[in-house]
Amino acid sequence: MAKRMIRMNSKRAVAGAAAGVALLLSSALPAFAREPRVNEPVNLGVRAEGTVNICERITQASEKLLEKLDERRVEVDKRRDERKEDVTDRRSEHRENATERRENWSTRWDALVLEMQAKATTDVQKAAIAQFKIDMQAAFNARQASLDAANSVFRTGLDKAVTDRKAAVQTAVDTLKNSVKTAIAKAKADCEAGIEGATVRTTLKASLDAAHAKFRADVQAADRIGANARALAETRRAAVEKAKEVFKAAALKARDVLKAKLKVGTTTSATTTQP
């Protein structure tokens, strides 16, 4: 009897323990199955939790992104201002150097012509050298006029390119920032509307990618302005080289005319001094 009693009690204890474990498990398991909740409305479940997390992340990331854009915008603007200053400084330096060079050469050329004149013995020779000086000056002037024209076209074109590039870059930069802002605002609105987090994120990424693709296309278009500027430089190079060749041809012609006159001058001089 006593043994039966013991057996019955132990069966009850096991059953009780099993019931206790089952009770414990039934209350604990849902807690393990769910992710931690942040201000979760009662019935939104896992989907709403993901949305909340993504929205928080979007808020943080968008603040960072806008900060970065602002910081980098400062650098872009700085370079743009430097560009304008660089062009102005370099141009004025070039003008000063060119003027100084012309003045030095003018002095040297006058000395060279004086040397020729000192060696001329007849009036014919002296007149020939005077004409040579005039012809050479005309060649120098013609070259300078060609350079001035080429410089004018180049500088005007470059100034326009600087302005165009500034406008194009400004538009590209502003467009990107506005698009990013719009995309972030939409993502936040979607979050508030309870749209699934993954969808919000996908939509945001797509908008940001599109904004960046547009930005890259805009920058490429702005780079074409740089290509135009290089084309202007090439045109100027050709004009400057041509001016050099034209000058050399004119100078050689002037020299040949002079030498022919000098020869005649010598013959005339020899003939007149014959007894």
Partner 1 sequence: MTRNWKSWLASASVLLLVGAGCAGYDDQSATPEKSKNDKTEVETTKDSSLDASVDAGLEAAFGEVDASTKEELKENSDAEIITNDSAELNAYGKAYDQNEL
* Residue 41 beta carbon to partner 1: minimum distance, rounded to whole angstroms: 24
Binding to partner 1, residues 79-108 (CB under 8 A) = 79-80, 82-83, 86-87, 90-91, 94, 97-98, 101, 105, 108
52 binds partner 1 (CB under 8 A): no
260 alpha carbon, distance to own chain's centre: 58
Please answer whether residues 142 and 247 qualify as being in contact, where contact means their C-beta atoms are separated by less than 8 angstroms. yes
What CA–CA distance (Å, rounded) separates 182 from 226?
31
What CA–CA distance (Å, rounded) separates 37 from 78?
46
109 binds partner 1 (CB under 8 A): yes
What CA–CA distance (Å, rounded) separates 111 from 91?
30
C-alpha distance from residue 144 to each of 90, 110, 135, 137, 240 (Å): 20, 17, 14, 10, 10
- Judged by CB under 8 A, the residue of 15, 149, 260, 270 near partner 1 is 270
142 binds partner 1 (CB under 8 A): no
Binding to partner 1, residues 208-267 (CB under 8 A) = 208, 212, 215-216, 219, 222-223, 225-226, 229-230, 232-234, 236-237, 240-241, 243-244, 247-248, 251-252, 255, 258-259, 262, 266
48 binds partner 1 (CB under 8 A): no
Q: Which residues of 218-250 are buried (b: 16+ CB within 10 A; e: fewer)?
A: beeebeebeebbeebeeebeebeeebeeebeeb
Question: How many residues of this chain interact with partner 1, rule: CB under 8 A?
Answer: 88
Binding to partner 1, residues 158-177 (CB under 8 A) = 158, 161-162, 165, 169, 172-173, 176
113 binds partner 1 (CB under 8 A): yes
Segment interacting with partner 1 (CB under 8 A) among 3-11, 19-27, 28-36, 198-206:
198-206
